Each structure stands twice: as C-alpha cells, then as structure tokens.
C-alpha cells in the first residue's frame, strides 16, 4: 500500500516518517519493531533498536544518541565486555558523565564487573 498521511503500511510493518526525516518502524500490533536495523532513526543519526516493543540488540548498542550508548538485550541493560551505559558529560548544564555496568538487568559496580570470573560470561556484544 502507498503512503497515507506519512504512513507506509505493509503486511507486517508500518513505517512512520515526517518531513524532517524521522523514521519509526512498527509491527502489526503497533509495537516498535525492525529486524536488521534500527526501529527509530532520527534526522541527526540517533538510533534505537527494538524487537516487538522491547529494546534489543545483541551485536552493539541498542540506544545511540550522540555520544550516549546503552546496550540492551531482551529489554534488559546488558553488556559483557564493558559498560552497558555510557552518557557523555553535559558541561553546559552541569551533568557529569555516567558509566554503568549491567549484566542481564542487574547493575554491578565497576569492581564487581571487573572481578567476575572469566568462566561466568561469554562475549555478547561489540562496541557500538
């Protein structure tokens, strides 16, 4: 089916676009969803990866806004080879950088993360 008010509707996917270049992909149930690429694409290049309404990406950051990176797997913050969340400082408004370590939705201190035995984890994600 062709464009209808900014929508392109396919059998299993709906793409919403606006005149600025914003794109959002949805499945038949109206959930953010896209396989093989980001479900949300901002005109400035920011991106979000979603699978059936859940933030999810196993081969890199699922939430990429400027220098902010968040690694999500099946709706949980998760990264086995570094911080699952990094937000750069915003000096103009006095916001410090944020670096957080998460495994399967459980936050760890940097010390806990680095002291995990090598047998406990396998590499799940790459740097995004």
pLDDT at 112: 94
pLDDT at 84: 98
Confidence of residue 120 (pLDDT cuts 50, 70, 90): low
Decide if 50 is inside a domain: yes
Q: What is the pLDDT of residues 19-68, one digit of tens each?
A: 888 999 999 888 999 999 999 999 999 999 999 999 999 999 999 999 89
Same domain? For 63 and 92 the reply is yes
3 CB contacts (<8 Å, ≥6 apart)? none
Is the Cβ–Cβ distance between 43 and 25 less than 8 Å? no
Decide if 127 is inside a domain: no
Phi and psi torsions of 50, nearest 5°: -135, 145
Decide if 4 is inside a domain: yes
Tell me what percent of the residues of the chain surpass a pLDDT of 70.
80
Beta strand ranges found along 66-115 (DSSP E): 68-70, 72-73, 76-77, 85-87, 98-103, 106-108
Is the Cβ–Cβ distance between 14 and 26 less than 8 Å? yes
The overall pTM is greater than 0.95: no
The total number of structural domains in the chain stands at: 2
Same domain? For 7 and 51 the reply is yes
Decide if 32 is inside a domain: yes
Cα–Cα distance measured from residue 6 to residue 26, given in angstroms and rounded to the nearest whole number: 13
Decide if 126 is inside a domain: no
Residue 14 pLDDT exceeds 80 = no
Cα–Cα distance measured from residue 70 to residue 34, given in angstroms and rounded to the nearest whole number: 18
Residue range of the domain that includes 6? 1-55
Same domain? For 76 and 35 the reply is no
Rg (CA), the chain: 17
Same domain? For 68 and 18 the reply is no
């Amino acid at each position: 089916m062709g464009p209808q008010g900014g929508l392109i509707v396919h059998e299993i996917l709906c793409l919403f676009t606006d005149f600025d270049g914003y794109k959002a992909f949805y499945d038949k149930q109206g959930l953010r969803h896209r396989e093989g690429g980001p479900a949300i694409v901002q005109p400035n290049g920011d991106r979000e990866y979603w699978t059936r309404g859940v933030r999810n990406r196993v081969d890199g950051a699922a939430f990429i806004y400027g220098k902010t990176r968040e690694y999500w797997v099946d709706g949980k913050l998760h990264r086995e080879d570094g911080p699952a969340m990094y937000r750069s400082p915003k000096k103009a408004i006095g916001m410090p950088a944020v670096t957080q370590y998460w495994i399967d939705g459980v936050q760890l201190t940097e010390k806990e993360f680095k002291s995990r035995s090598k047998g406990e984890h396998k590499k799940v994600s790459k740097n995004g």
